[in-house]
C-alpha cells in the first residue's frame, strides 16, 4: 500500500505522458493508411484518436488545479500577468509552428497571408487563459455553472446558426468571416478549421473538468466516485448523441461530455493503481514525456516538417525512412504503425536524455 502522505500527482504525470505518447503516434503514421482506432472519425462518430486532444485539455485543467495554491499567495496583477503571458506564448508557439520553416522551397520568406491562425496549441493557450479566469473569479461552483451554460449555449448556436455538415456549420461560418479562408485549415477539402473560434467555447469545459478532477484527487476523495461520474458522462453523451451527434471536428457538446467521461475513468484507474496501490512498474516511461510535454510536442512536429522537406533519392526523407525501414518487409498497415511507434520512441529518447540532465523547459 502506498504511503498516504504521498501526494497523488504521479497519476496525473503519467496521464499527461500517456496522452503525449499517443498524440505522437496518431500524428505520425508512416504511410497513407492506419488502423481504424488511429484515425479520426470522418465526421460524426468517435475513435481512440479523437480522445487525444481533449485529454490534453483535461491535463491542462489539472495543471491549473496544481498551480492554484501558488497563485493564491499572490495578488491579481501577478496572476493575470503569469496566466496571460503563458497563454500567449503557447498560442504563439502554435502559430509559429504552422509558419515553420518560415521559408518556401525556393528560398523566399513564407507569406503570413497563408498561415493558419488557429490550431492545437492555439486552442490550448486560449482555453488555459479562459479556464484560469473562470476558476479564479467564480470558483468550482462557478466553473460547473459555466460548463453547463457553455455546452447548452453551444448546442443552440450550432442548430440555429448553421447545420451540422462540413460546409454549412456555424463554426465555419464564423471563421470565414473573422479569419478568412487562407488562414484556415483546408485538409478536409474546403476551408474549415476543427480548432475554430466558436468551437473553442465548449473546449474550455474539457479544461474545467480536468481542474475539477484534480481537485477531487488532491482532496483524497473516493476514486470510485470519479469513475462513477465518468460512467454517468458516457451515458449522458450517448443519449445526447441522438439529438446532437458526437463530432470531434465540430467539438459538439455531446463530444465534450463523452471525452470528459473517458478521461475521468482513465484518471480514476491510474490513481487507484499508481497512487493508492503504489504500483510503479512502467510509470517512468510516461513520466519522462510528462516532464517536457510542450517541448517534445514542438520537437515532434518540427522534425516531421523537416523530414518532409529534405530529399533522399527523389523522395522526402520521411517517405524514404518509412519505405526503407518498414514498408520494405511489412504490410502497409503494420509498417505505418511501426513507423509511428519508432518515431514516438525516438522522441522519448530525447525526453529521457533531457530528464537525465535535469533539463526542463517550461513557459
Least confident span in 96-110, 176-190, 198-212: 96-110
Question: What are the tens digits of pLDDT across the range 247-284?
Answer: 999 999 999 999 999 999 999 999 999 988 888 888 99
Q: Is the pLDDT of residue 196 over 90?
A: yes
Least confident span in 127-136, 157-166, 173-182, 354-363: 354-363
Q: Looking at residue 3, what is its pLDDT?
A: 41
Q: Looking at residue 105, what is its pLDDT?
A: 75
Reported confidence tier of residue 129, pLDDT bands at 50, 70, 90: very high
CA atoms within 13 A on the CB side of 28: 30
Reported confidence tier of residue 108, pLDDT bands at 50, 70, 90: confident
Average pLDDT in the chain: 92
Q: Which residue would you say has higher pLDDT here, 276 or 224? A: 224
Q: Which residue would you say has higher pLDDT here, 352 or 281? A: 352
Three-class SS of the chain: CCCCCCCCCHHHHHHHHHHHHHHHHHHCCCCCCCCHHHCCCCCECCCHHHHHHHHHHHHHHHHHHHHHHHHHCCCHHHHHHHHHHHHHHHHHHHHHHHHCCCECCCCCECCHHHCCCCCHHHHHHHHHHHHHHHHHHHHHHHHHHHHHHHHHHHHHHHHHCCCCCCCCCHHHHHHHHHCCHHHCCCCCCCCCCCCCCCCHHHHHHHHHHHHHHHHHHHCCCCHHHHHHHHHHHHHHHHHHCCCCCCECCCCCHHHHHHHHHHHHHHHHHHHHHHHHCCCCCCHHHHHHHHHCHHHHHHHHHHHHHHHHHCEECCEEHHHHHHHHHHHCCCCHHHHHHHHHHHHHHHHHHHHHHHHHCCCCCCC
Reported confidence tier of residue 7, pLDDT bands at 50, 70, 90: very low
Q: Is the peptide bond before 101 cis (omega within 30 degrees of 0)?
A: yes
Q: Looking at residue 93, what is its pLDDT?
A: 94
Mean pLDDT in residue range 172-200? 95
Question: What are the tens digits of pLDDT across the range 18-31?
Answer: 999 999 999 999 88
- Give the percent of the chain with pLDDT over 70: 98
Q: Looking at residue 316, what is its pLDDT?
A: 93
Mean pLDDT in residue range 35-62? 95
Q: Looking at residue 128, what is its pLDDT?
A: 97
Q: Looking at residue 279, what is its pLDDT?
A: 85
Q: Is the pLDDT of residue 1 over 50?
A: no
Mean pLDDT in residue range 302-313? 91
Q: Looking at residue 317, what is its pLDDT?
A: 95
Q: Looking at residue 9, what is its pLDDT?
A: 78
Q: Is the pLDDT of residue 2 over 60?
A: no
Q: Looking at residue 281, what is its pLDDT?
A: 86
Q: Is the pLDDT of residue 170 over 80?
A: yes
Q: Is the pLDDT of residue 138 over 70?
A: yes
Mean pLDDT in residue range 117-129? 96
Q: Looking at residue 353, what is its pLDDT?
A: 96
Amino acid at each position: 500500500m502506498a504511503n498516504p502522505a504521498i501526494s497523488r500527482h504521479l497519476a496525473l504525470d503519467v496521464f499527461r505522458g500517456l496522452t503525449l505518447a499517443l498524440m505522437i503516434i496518431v500524428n505520425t503514421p508512416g504511410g497513407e493508411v492506419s488502423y481504424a482506432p488511429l484515425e479520426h472519425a470522418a465526421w460524426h462518430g468517435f475513435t481512440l484518436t479523437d480522445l487525444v486532444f481533449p485529454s490534453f485539455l483535461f491535463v491542462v485543467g489539472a495543471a491549473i488545479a496544481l498551480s492554484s495554491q501558488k497563485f493564491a499567495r499572490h495578488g491579481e496583477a501577478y496572476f493575470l500577468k503569469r496566466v496571460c503571458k503563458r497563454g500567449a506564448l503557447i498560442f504563439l508557439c502554435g502559430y509559429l509552428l504552422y509558419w515553420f520553416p518560415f521559408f518556401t522551397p525556393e528560398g523566399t520568406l513564407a507569406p503570413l497571408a497563408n498561415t493558419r491562425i488557429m490550431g492545437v496549441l492555439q486552442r490550448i493557450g486560449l482555453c488555459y487563459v479562459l479556464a484560469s479566469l473562470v476558476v479564479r473569479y467564480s470558483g468550482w461552483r462557478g466553473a460547473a455553472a459555466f460548463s453547463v451554460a457553455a455546452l447548452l449555449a453551444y448546442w443552440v448556436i450550432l442548430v440555429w446558426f448553421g447545420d451540422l455538415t462540413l460546409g454549412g456549420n456555424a463554426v465555419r461560418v464564423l471563421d470565414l468571416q473573422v479569419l478568412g479562408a487562407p488562414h484556415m485549415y483546408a485538409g478536409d477539402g474546403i476551408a474549415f478549421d476543427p480548432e475554430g473560434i466558436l468551437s473553442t467555447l465548449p473546449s474550455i469545459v474539457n479544461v474545467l473538468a480536468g481542474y475539477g478532477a484534480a481537485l477531487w484527487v488532491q482532496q483524497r476523495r473516493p476514486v470510485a466516485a470519479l469513475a462513477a461520474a465518468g460512467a454517468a458522462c458516457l451515458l449522458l453523451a450517448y443519449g445526447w448523441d441522438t439529438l446532437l451527434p458526437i463530432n470531434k471536428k465540430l467539438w459538439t457538446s455531446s463530444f465534450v461530455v463523452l471525452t470528459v467521461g473517458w478521461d475521468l475513468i482513465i484518471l480514476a484507474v491510474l490513481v487507484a493503481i499508481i497512487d493508492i496501490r503504489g504500483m510503479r512498474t512502467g510509470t517512468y516511461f510516461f513520466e519522462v514525456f510528462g516532464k517536457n510535454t510542450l517541448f517534445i510536442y514542438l520537437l515532434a512536429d518540427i522534425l516531421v516538417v523537416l523530414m518532409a522537406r529534405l530529399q533522399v533519392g527523389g523522395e522526402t526523407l520521411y517517405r524514404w525512412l518509412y519505405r526503407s525501414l518498414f514498408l520494405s518487409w511489412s504490410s502497409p498497415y503494420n509498417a505505418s504503425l511501426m513507423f509511428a511507434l519508432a518515431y514516438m520512441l525516438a522522441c522519448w529518447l530525447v525526453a529521457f536524455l533531457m530528464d537525465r540532465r535535469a533539463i526542463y523547459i517550461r513557459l
